[in-house]
Amino acid sequence: MVEKSDLIRIDDYRWEIPTSYRDDMRVPVQIFASDALIDQALDDKSMQQAVNASTLPGLVERVVVMPDVHQGYGFPIGGVAASRYPDGIISPGAIGYDINCGVRLLASRIAFEEARQWMDDLASALYANCPSGVGVGGSVRLTVKQLEKVCREGAEWALNNGYARREDLERTEEQGRIDGGQPGKVSTRAKQRGKEQLGTLGAGNHFIEVDVVDKIFNPEAAEAMRLQEGMLALQIHCGSRGFGHQICSDYVKDFQSAVKKYGITLPDRELVCAPLDSPEGKDYLSAMACAANFAFCNRQVLAHHARRSFEQVLAGKVPDWDLTQVYDIAHNMGKMEDHQVGGETVRVCVHRKGATRAFGPGFEGLPETYRPLGQPVLVPGSMGTASWVLTGTQRSMEQSFGSSCHGAGRVMSRSQAKREVWGQDLREQLEEQGIAIRAGSMPGLAEEAPKAYKDVDEVIEVVTNAGIAEKVARLRPVAVIKG
Amino acid sequence: MHPTPYEEIEHTADWALRVRGVTLESLFEHAAQGMLSLLEPGYLDSSPTGRSLELSAIDLETLLVSWLEELLFLIETEKIGFQNYAIRIEGTSLEASFESVPIESIKKDIKAVTYNELEIVHDQEGYRTTIVFDV
């Protein structure tokens, strides 16, 4: 285990594990954390996993660790690593099984006080219209041919089939479509799973949440995002479902042979990888794009159902019941990007696992509305606590490969959470706080109890004080829908 | 005394199972039983049906991952659970027959069987390993 004495403190919010810590490290590990959060990070294997990640071939500069870090499987959740193209590697396990798990935020002009009496009905409508839970089939059943179109087109497929508006796509990372998706690189088994699951939330920590915009910190950015204090907003957190899980599983298994072929030695088999320009690496990038596109489309279809739910419950009761897209962002992804490395612009594959892209102002690829402001960064808190809307900064480009945190970050195991919290008690506590809850499983709810997570506000203080993101707005939950 | 077939151990975010078996075959059987118990299936009152499958892999750890993935796929797509396993392992190939039982639902979801620190260890007591599941 990494000890605190192994760390070098760089400043109030940055720590480093130097390459001298272990012989096989290729780059140092840099952790964004406060005093309290660094102690939590040292409590599990996340730092060891970050050190293991630093042994991947072709990494540049450093492995970056966000303040919401926790132990994952192989690569820590909250980790960022960039590998140089073309000889650096791509590692499916360093992106995660839920490829393009991410968050979408929609804004409204519905005053919470005006709509408060219908929150319970709204929670019920969202729960009924947005399929959730284990093994629950999708609202849109696809043929294999249709699924293959989703693989290539992403959210564009949703637009062409009546589930999206053009503006939704414009306000989505990569416009909701990653180039290079080749369904031929995806197994029959993955397709069999995926064609039943479009438009589903899933279970675990995935959710739909109705929030109130609680406080605005940057009026100019909030206005561009159409976020107004006291108005409702909606978050959707989910990913590529069994389709993405199967693709990652298939390639982690295939790459067990690839590492032998390329003579790559790693401290953990979950980190298996292949060179970016190798046949194996290219195949995974094509398959990963398919899963990423499926996930963009999935959140888009769920957004469509959320709009229907708002209409069903609030039409005629409030002046304007529409939901407009703020942004949709991935937090498990490998992205080909240009970054400054040693004073040169270098093409790299940025692995973000439990970390979001957070590009600063002026970067191409951001929607015109957001380009002068920086990219919206969406950070959901734990159930019942605040969520945050931030923007990326120039400093994030310099310090963290244009990345920021993705959530609160777990500190407690699921089994411990279930031992300490009863789902029904938690539900009553949240309802007493004025939060309507719809959940498929009470033990599942207990696993996601707020005490199982870090304090999201402290995570936000770290990324904003470190300068890799800036506050725009804080959201407060009023209805939570979980599988 | 036989060692505990499987037990859940602490993991911050995911599930980890420590599995033991006197033989390699019993290790694989206990891993399947342990994984199924994590999913908390609700069985339908229906007659079991005989099933079999064959797998081969590049090494024993990959065989174990493949075995559990295969069962997860059957659970998700055919909505069945399993009992009365008869497993034979030769080298890195497996032949298994078991009974499938229809399930009404499962309460929990496993996204994937991971290779995180996965190693099958053989010692005087038999075989043991720890499997981390992404949930």
B8 CB neighbours in chain A (<8 A) are 415
pLDDT at A364: 85
Task: Give the three-class secondary structure for A29.
Answer: strand
Instruction: With cut-offs at 50, 70 and 90, classify the pLDDT of residue A365.
Output: confident
pLDDT, tens digit, 9 for 90 and up, residues A131-171: 988 877 778 999 999 999 999 999 999 999 999 999 999 99
What is the average pLDDT value for chain A, to the nearest integer? 96
In this structure, what DSSP letter does residue A163 have? S
Query: Whole-angstrom Cα distance, residue A22 to residue A52?
Result: 9
pLDDT at A311: 98
In this predicted structure, the answer to whether residue A93 has a pLDDT above a threshold of 90 is yes
In this predicted structure, the answer to whether residue A114 has a pLDDT above a threshold of 80 is yes
CB contact under 8 A, B73 and A444: no
pLDDT, tens digit, 9 for 90 and up, residues B68-105: 999 999 999 999 999 999 999 999 999 999 999 999 98
Residue from the list A70, A97, A189 with its beta carbon closest to the beta carbon of B73: A189
Residue from the list A71, A269, A270 with its beta carbon closest to the beta carbon of B13: A71
CB contact under 8 A, A193 and B116: no
Q: Compare all CA atoms of chain A with the CA of B57 and give the residue at the minimum distance.
A: A253
Query: Whole-angstrom Cα distance, residue A414 to residue B9?
Result: 11
Q: Residue A244: enclosing H or E segment and its boundaries?
A: helix A241-261
Dihedral angle of Cα A47, A31, A98, A396, to the nearest 10 degrees = -170
Neighbours of A223 (CB within 10 A): 13
Query: Whole-angstrom Cα distance, residue A426 to residue A436?
Result: 12
Q: Compare all CA atoms of chain B with the CA of A243 and give the residue at the minimum distance.
A: B111
Residue from the list B12, B111, B117 with its beta carbon closest to the beta carbon of A97: B111
In this predicted structure, the answer to whether residue B1 has a pLDDT above a threshold of 70 is no
Q: In terms of DSSP bridges, do strands A63-73 and A29-32 run parallel, antiparallel, or are they unpaired?
A: parallel
Domain B6-134 has CATH 3.55.10.10: yes
Calculate how close chain B gets to A224, using CA atoms only, in Å: 35
Q: Compare all CA atoms of chain A with the CA of B12 and give the residue at the minimum distance.
A: A413
CB contact under 8 A, A268 and B10: no
Calculate how close chain A gets to B87, using CA atoms only, in Å: 22
| All domains in chain A, ordered by first residue | 4-411+453-482 (3.90.1860.10)
Backbone angles phi, psi at B101, to 5 degrees: -125, 130
Domain boundaries, chain B: 6-134
pLDDT at B112: 96
pLDDT, tens digit, 9 for 90 and up, residues A230-283: 999 999 999 999 999 999 999 999 999 999 999 999 999 999 999 999 999 999
Q: Compare all CA atoms of chain B with the CA of A416 and give the residue at the minimum distance.
A: B10
Active-site choice (A206, A304, A305, A406):
A406
Backbone angles phi, psi at A107, to 5 degrees: -105, 160
pLDDT, tens digit, 9 for 90 and up, residues B17-56: 999 999 999 999 999 999 999 998 999 988 999 999 999 9
In this predicted structure, the answer to whether residue A92 has a pLDDT above a threshold of 60 is yes
pLDDT at B60: 98
Neighbours of A9 (CB within 10 A): 12
Q: How far is CA A183 from the centre of its chain?
A: 23
Least confident among A113-122, A131-140, A314-323, B125-134: A131-140
Q: Compare all CA atoms of chain A with the CA of B8 and give the residue at the minimum distance.
A: A415
Both tokens assigned to B67 = 């075995």
Q: Residue A258: enclosing H or E segment and its boundaries?
A: helix A241-261
Residue from the list B13, B117, B134 with its beta carbon closest to the beta carbon of A97: B134
Instruction: With cut-offs at 50, 70 and 90, classify the pLDDT of residue A126.
Output: very high
Please indicate whether residue A70 is annotated as part of the active site: no
B108 CB neighbours in chain A (<8 A) are 134, 203, 441, 444
Q: How big, in percent rounded to 5, are the helix, strand and coil portions of chain A? A: 40, 25, 35
pLDDT, mean of residues A333-343: 96
pLDDT at A139: 81
A254 CB neighbours in chain B (<8 A) are none
Alpha helices in A119-197 (DSSP H): 119-129, 144-153, 155-160, 166-170, 188-194
Instruction: Specify whether the CB–CB gap between A309 and A125 falls below 8 A.
Output: yes
Query: Whole-angstrom Cα distance, residue A380 to residue A142?
Result: 30
Which residue bears the tokens 């300068």? A467
Nearest alpha-carbon partner for A8 in A37, A30, A41, A39: A30
Instruction: With cut-offs at 50, 70 and 90, classify the pLDDT of residue A443.
Output: confident
Calculate how close chain A gets to B120, using CA atoms only, in Å: 13
Q: Compare all CA atoms of chain B with the CA of A195 and give the residue at the minimum distance.
A: B77
pLDDT, mean of residues A187-192: 97
Residue from the list A46, A270, A414 with its beta carbon closest to the beta carbon of B115: A270
ipTM over 0.90: yes
State in Å, rounded, how far the first CA of chain A is from the last one. Answer: 35
A21, amino acid identity: Y
A204 CB neighbours in chain B (<8 A) are 109, 111, 135
Residue from the list B8, B61, B116 with its beta carbon closest to the beta carbon of A415: B8
Instruction: With cut-offs at 50, 70 and 90, classify the pLDDT of residue A326.
Output: very high
pLDDT, mean of residues A423-450: 91
Question: Which residues of B lie closer than 8 Å to A, measured between beta carbons?
Answer: 8, 10-15, 58-59, 61-62, 65-66, 69, 73, 76-77, 79, 105-109, 111-118, 132, 134-135
Query: Whole-angstrom Cα distance, residue A477 to residue A112?
Result: 11
Question: Which residues of A lie closer than 8 Å to B, measured between beta carbons?
Answer: 44, 46, 70-74, 77, 93, 96-98, 134-135, 189, 192-193, 202-204, 242, 245, 248-249, 252-253, 256-257, 268-270, 272, 410-416, 441, 443-444
